[in-house]
Structure 1
């Protein structure tokens, strides 16, 4: 059930960058939210502890669940569909366009037809959903469940939330992951303390930027890479200690360009490995400081690393770049559906 809820949120976000009916995607999320809520409310042995989050003291995010229940009941009992407002914010450019829609108002005449129990949920809708950006409210629902019943979160084989992170949108600071802190400094610590996104990385060289050595290469998710990476020596060794696989190997001899296979991958080069990375890569157990070197064309790597580390680059831009690379948040929806 939680997998369905997580994927419905991810599908909604993907839909904001396409021509899909956002209203239908919202209703899918609402349905799965209430399914999870009903399941936990009636769970044998755990129902009382779950219901307590809606009592006194009340969980800070509980109103998001009641607000979603209100929307579900409005559509079920009076056949009024609550969809995103027609007024949307369109952002983006050559790197991809995206709609940021907001929750619409529920007319008073529709509300008047509801049962008293559902009417009592209206304040939660007005406070938490009405006028708010839709995806951000979906994230709050997921955060609620992650906080009160963390064991129900569905994770993939890499231990990552199924359906996350969301794909990076250049210039936008909205969270790409339910666990992502809103403060950039806290978010940096969170990112550096967890495994990188993806399933493995291939190290292609080392470069010194502002007197500090950095390792660079490409992050793979299975056989495909949608993002390059750069890390400090210390960070790579920490990642390895967490069990994340880094490899060395002849990248040029084992991969080929694959951008044409992923038309929605607009933010970087796409590489496809002919075989599993582990079949041609040599596992790296520890990285040491060396002089600058590169197994591929070394031009541009200093600038690549500097974008996320040089003081001359605005902090907000550095954070956005770092987040996209570290979380591997450049993987397009077309790749996740394969």
Structure 2
């Protein structure tokens, strides 16, 4: 395959195109600047002009990460500084599941771009939090000095603008625990008392538990592979949908009909799996959402309780859930 054919295959793919990925990997030196250019264009181009290129961009970022193409580090960082809506459309669940691991691989020795993202009040809050995790991974690996990281985290105390929901600040406190910085415990407690760190994201008990684990030698212990460097793209993303065939053809009425149909099927098959609330509890008011009566009360059915945002929508449209019935919900 020529490079143009590889790009075309990546652009048209809805799942990881194994053959095109293998061809691209065999021509890595040629493809790195091409894919870096794809990322740079996405960062500089309005979302409306990128229609149909979300899959290509998604695969380009992950290929560069799997290849440890450090020359693309700053270009990907520039992309991640874009507004939350654009980032969600282009990268989807990668924002929370893989991008911090990709950036670990791309790191060129300068933490400046990561720091800029963490402190950027206009950047997506989940990106900002995950860049803290990238810095934590680099610190645990000895690629950022602990003293440098400790000083930086102290400087961030109370200075994370644009974090209205407390997601970044909670990540800040968790990272202090994950790296075993007991000397910053007081700064975290002050942030708890000031309401900067939200207990729904991180409790004091969890902070102390993680801090104790880190001091015992277990640094950056996440869930599963959460803090492992990004690996082979086929193995990592084999079950993902990487591009949505979303053409806005499904109107609200059509989506409501699909919601009602799937809810009815689940109600007949296994009501317990479909309920948001326990039998007898008050129903949550969502217009058009089917419900069942228990003891004179209504319990709303949630037919999507076990469907992930990146999963194919169960209505059968072929789109991602978040771009189909998940959008209506």
Q: Given the two structures, how large is their TM-score scaled by the length of structure 2? A: 0.27
Q: Which has a greater percent of strand?
A: 1
Q: Given the two structures, how large is their TM-score scaled by the length of structure 1? A: 0.27
Q: Which has a greater percent of helix?
A: 2
